[in-house]
Chain A
Amino acid sequence: NAGVTQTPKFQVLKTGQSMTLQCAQDMNHEYMSWYRQDPGMGLRLIHYSVGAGITDQGEVPNGYNVSRSTTEDFPLRLLSAAPSQTSVYFCASSSANEKLFFGSGTQLSVL
């Protein structure tokens, strides 16, 4: 059972570089979301999607873009990375009225 798969597991970027964090789920979940985890701050919601073609902003959306062209995939794009985006990123998915399933995370460092 693959569940929620995130790639890459680790990434180092220079300030101003762009990259895409990949997230895929094989459970046919309608809801997908991206969180960032920072020390002492828990998880904060970046963007979420309630279905293919629909996305919305969470608590900390600035500097990130998302798209949901398929039910399975929900990539997170950093257009111009900044040191403040150094964090651990988690993708999660769920069906309506069901619990969240989390990926194993992507550790991103921006120098």
Chain B
Amino acid sequence: GEDVEQSLFLSVREGDSSVINCTYTDSSSTYLYWYKQEPGAGLQLLTYIFSNMDMKQDQRLTVLLNKKDKHLSLRIADTQTGDSAIYFCAESPDVGSARQLTFGSGTQLTVLP
């Protein structure tokens, strides 16, 4: 079955860049997502990338996709204390299958002042 893996923890200093990594196994993954979960809240979609893209940039966020290695990363530039949260990588075979997302275990990002 599908598997999505992430490291559990990441700490960075305020103002530095954060890079959160994710690997997946399903070669039919068409859409790859990054979700953010703040304490006591549900998940919010940050960004997503279609599998025919290598990179997507949205303000401070840069998503890189290496489809050959099945590796996805999320770079947050100028990381702020408000970026402290759990970040989930997820994949689905198509955007219409939002119900069939497979999530990674989440990476807890801690931003130190």
Asked if B48 is at the interface of the complex by the 8 Å CB criterion, the answer is: yes
- Residue pair A4, B42 in contact (C-beta under 8 Å): yes
Asked if B101 is at the interface of the complex by the 8 Å CB criterion, the answer is: yes
Number of interface residues of A (CB under 8 A): 24
User: A57–B75 Cα gap in the complex (Å)?
Assistant: 35
Asked if A79 is at the interface of the complex by the 8 Å CB criterion, the answer is: no
> Within residues 61 to 103 of chain A, which ones have a CB less than 8 A from any CB in chain B?
90, 92, 94, 96-100, 102-103
Residues of A with C-beta under 8 A to B11: none
- Residue pair B99, A45 in contact (C-beta under 8 Å): yes
- Known A-B contacts A40-B8, A42-B4, A43-B88; the reply to A100 vs B103 at CB < 8 A is no
**Majority SS of interface residues in chain B?**
mixed
Asked if A104 is at the interface of the complex by the 8 Å CB criterion, the answer is: yes
> Within residues 68 to 102 of chain B, which ones have a CB less than 8 A from any CB in chain A?
88, 95-96, 98-101
User: A105–B98 Cα gap in the complex (Å)?
Assistant: 18
- Known A-B contacts A102-B44, A104-B41; the reply to A94 vs B99 at CB < 8 A is yes
Residues of A with C-beta under 8 A to B113: none
- Residue pair A103, B42 in contact (C-beta under 8 Å): yes
User: A28–B33 Cα gap in the complex (Å)?
Assistant: 23
- Residue pair A104, B42 in contact (C-beta under 8 Å): yes
> Within residues 19 to 46 of chain B, which ones have a CB less than 8 A from any CB in chain A?
33, 40-45
- Residue pair A31, B41 in contact (C-beta under 8 Å): no
A contact residues vs B (CB 8 Å cutoff) = 4, 31, 33, 35, 40-45, 48, 50, 90, 92, 94, 96-100, 102-105
Extra contacts besides A43-B103, A94-B99, A100-B99 (19): CB < 8 Å: A31-B98, A31-B99, A40-B8, A40-B105, A44-B103, A45-B101, A92-B43, A92-B98, A92-B99, A97-B96, A98-B95, A98-B98, A99-B98, A100-B98, A100-B101, A102-B44, A104-B40, A105-B40, A105-B41
